Amino acid sequence: MSTVADVVALLEQFAPTTLAEDWDNVGLVVGDGASEVHRVMTCLTLTEDVADEAIEEKAELVVTHHPLPFRPLKQLTTATPEGRVLWKLIGAGISIYSPHTALDSAAEGINHQLAQGLNLVEVEPLVPADPTQPEAELGSGRCGAVLEPTDLARLAANTCKLLSIDHVRVVGDERQSVARVAVACGSGGSFLDLAIDAGADALVTGEASFHTLLAARSAGVAMVLTGHYASERFALEHLANWLSEQPLNVACWASRKECDPLRLAKR
């Protein structure tokens, strides 16, 4: 028999909560560590339809990348979407765990997986968790060299293939040469200056502000924008597979109802 605490212990070996940003809310945010666990569902974000899936599929634990709750709550009622999700899951006895920025920065975490999937070598964090050991691969973002110099068009195509998406948005000339690539999952535009300092020719991230895009263009640094969802969701699928392989005797799957809220509309 496995408990919530058993699953949490493994998750915190994989993505230590000490790696999380100070503003974050990681760890077991709802639940009882002593509760039995037979079924675990992972997801990027806990929405009402994803919560309904967890209940329908009889999960006892949901591992959600984005924390819920994220900020302190003054009331917990069904008057808000967040309140309805929490009320449902608590009523069903389902615990909630979030690794969030700890998983972003872990040695085998999301940014590592992005760098690995793009075949980068000599990879180091953009912000090392321990500045005296940048080679330890613990920290925020990643930057590394491509195996062979390429261009922005090929980098964009490789990113689409890695994330199983059919399009990305780019800043820069598609023929622009790319030898070093920085990656930062999610809302990673704030890593632009760090990517420039690391000598990156391109930054692959989920999303960035308009002014960040202008700054990148002015600096001659290409950007590949995958969308927030695509830049992180794949790693929650990997995490479900990883948990299934651990000696926990639990069934684990990534939410089948979860989807990107953004859709392309053609005129």
Tell me how crowded residue 33 is: count the other CB atoms within 10 A of its CB: 13
**Do 95 and 30 form a contact (C-beta atoms < 8 A)?**
yes
What residues form the annotated binding site for a divalent metal cation? Answer: 65-66, 104, 228, 232
| First CA to last CA distance, the chain | 55
Give the start-end residues of each E strand in the chain. Answer: 2-3, 27-30, 36-37, 39-43, 61-64, 95-98, 120-124, 127-128, 139-140, 142-151, 169-171, 177-184, 202-205, 222-225, 251-254
In this structure, what are the phi and psi dihedrals at residue 183, rounded to the nearest 5 degrees? -130, 145
Task: Please enumerate, by residue number, every residue annotated as part of a binding site.
Answer: 65-66, 104, 228, 232
Structure tokens given for 214: 């202008």
3-state secondary structure of 104: helix
Structure tokens at 202: 């391109």
